[in-house]
Amino acid sequence: MSRIKIEAFVIRTTRLAESSRVVTLFSRQAGKVKAVAKGVGKPKSKMSGTVELFNLIECLLYKKENADLGTMGDAAVLDDYHHIPADTRKFGFGSAWCEILQKTSHPDQPRPETFELTALFFKTLDLSEPGNAGLLFWSALFKMLAIEGYAPRLEKCLSCGKKKKDAKLMISLGRGGLICAGCIEEDEDAIPVSQSAFDILGAMGAGGFEDIAEMEVSPRIGREAAEVILSFASYHLGLPRNLKSFKFLESLGG
Amino acid sequence: MPKSLDELIEALSSLPGIGKKSAARLAFHLLKRPLDESIEISERIINARRNLKPCAVCGNLADQERCDICADTSRDNSMICVVEEPSDVSAIEALNEYRGAYHVLGGALSPLDGIGPDDLNISSLKKRIKDGIHEIILATNPSTEGEATASYLYSILKTGQIKISRIARGIPAGGSLEFTDRATLAGALENRISFDH
């Protein structure tokens, strides 16, 4: 039985019996971890209130060798992001981020840069205006792609090397970025994008969350940029396009 | 082990909180008791499953079209307490403190489980608030999902004419400040009450 102290985000909880929970954590030290939080649903539990979605916690993880499920102990909240559930769209996008972490992370494979990105994303989402939640989310996913080495490359045509100056802009999934009009016939995986969406993608790649939170983007252009980022995440990270959280956000309309 | 005993243990262990060992203990207990007792238990389970349905007004469990609470004319129907599950109604009723009406949502918003506003009993709540309601108490659980649900309900129900309140969050009786989580402690301090209230 090993015992390690971990720092982790709570990215999923499911009930186990009456008062216990199976908690999925995205940890700095051990990547994705699943552990039982025994008795955490009891009001007088020392861990009561700690294993809530989005919370950044510190806890002890007890685990047998080769076991899928560990046991949590001595959990304490390091940071909570209580404004996220106070707005339904923020809640939906925050949950979508948790779902992405679940789908793209694995046990014993730490992702320290993505851990830091998650901390920054939750903090900015928590304090941002509700209307910017989507833009911040897609920007965070763009940054995750960059960490993994799959961010769309937008500076020049990846085929001929010329700087972009076409009215018709295409972004190739397979080749990983901009393809000019002259080279596009050779590519079947290319997505057309407007100049405005292209500029937004560039800003997402270059800017910090605070700059992005200040941007004003029309819903149509935002959706166009989101489609490029989701297509890249799906193509390169194997992220399913039909996340439950996306269905939730669609049900809110707007 | 006889097949029928094996099947009984299997069936009992499918209940929440009942593992194989507890299921076996329950099965042997039932076998020791008179046959009539087992028949009565099984008939009660079947009756409950056949007769109970959501109350047409509030969504609580009911034998009739309306539950006992909605049918009780002595209750204050100008106040609605919104809860997630019928078991929450039972918990509040056990206090004998609240005499208003209820509304049962059937869960809480949970994007990770694909549960959105259309999957909860919300449209009938919106219809109910037109009829002389003066207060809605949002009594969803103090979890992330429960808080999100309460915030969503506030955003769609606020009219300016109806008082919308949220149940208080605080330190449990017999609990300890030392082990209270940050959110609860902060909420308890923020919503503190005067000593001579």
What predicted TM-score, i.e. pTM, was given to this entire model?
Answer: 0.89
Same domain, yes or no: A87 and A9: no
Q: Do A99 and B151 touch (CB under 8 A)?
A: no
Query: CATH code at A200?
Result: 1.20.1440.120
The secondary structure element, H or E, covering residue A135 is helix A133-148
For chain A, how many structural domains are there in total?
A: 2
Same domain, yes or no: A98 and A203: yes
Give B116's contacts in chain A (Cβ within 8 Å). 247-248, 251-252
Give B182's contacts in chain A (Cβ within 8 Å). 49, 77, 80
Give B175's contacts in chain A (Cβ within 8 Å). 43-44
Q: Residues of A62-84 as b/e, b for ≥16 C-beta within 10 angstroms?
A: bbeeeeeebbbeebebeebbbeb
Same domain, yes or no: A68 and A87: no
**Identity of residue A44:** K
Single residue among A56, A79, A102 that ends a domain in this structure: A79
Same domain, yes or no: A33 and A155: no
CA distance B54 to chain A (A): 23
Per residue in A158-179, pLDDT tens? 888 777 666 578 888 888 888 8
The secondary structure element, H or E, covering residue A31 is strand A31-37
Cα distance between residue A14 and residue B112, in whole Å: 10
Single residue among A79, A101, A117 that ends a domain in this structure: A79
Same domain, yes or no: A73 and A105: no
Same domain, yes or no: A75 and A37: yes
**3-class secondary structure per residue, A87-109:** CHHHHHHHHHHHHHHHHHCCECC
Single residue among A53, A79, A105 that ends a domain in this structure: A79
Ordered mean pLDDT values, 10 residues apiece, chain A (254 residues): 92 87 94 92 81 95 87 91 94 97 93 97 92 92 94 84 71 86 72 88 86 86 93 94 95 79
Same domain, yes or no: A8 and A23: yes
pLDDT over 80 at B53, yes or no: yes
Q: Which of B109, B144, B166, B169 to mutate to test the interface with A (most CBs of A within 10 A)?
A: B144
Domain that holds residue A19: 2-79
Handedness of CA A46, A51, A56, A58 (dihedral sign): positive
CA distance B85 to chain A (A): 15
Per residue in B25-45, pLDDT tens? 999 999 999 999 999 999 999
Same domain, yes or no: A9 and A90: no
CA distance B103 to chain A (A): 21
Cα distance between residue B107 and residue B62, in whole Å: 17
Query: CATH code at A64?
Result: 2.40.50.140
User: Is A126 touching B (CB cutoff 8 A)?
Assistant: no
Same domain, yes or no: A161 and A46: no
pLDDT, position B197: 62
Same domain, yes or no: A87 and A75: no
Give A87's contacts in chain B (Cβ within 8 Å). 151
What is the DSSP pairing of strand B163-166 with strand A190-193? unpaired
Task: Kindly report the number of other CB atoms within 10 A of residue A124's CB atom.
Answer: 20
What is the DSSP pairing of strand A56-63 with strand A69-79? antiparallel
Same domain, yes or no: A52 and A94: no
Same domain, yes or no: A75 and A88: no
Q: Do the beta carbons of residue B159 and residue A56 sit within 8 Å?
A: no
pLDDT, position A71: 94
SS3 A171: strand
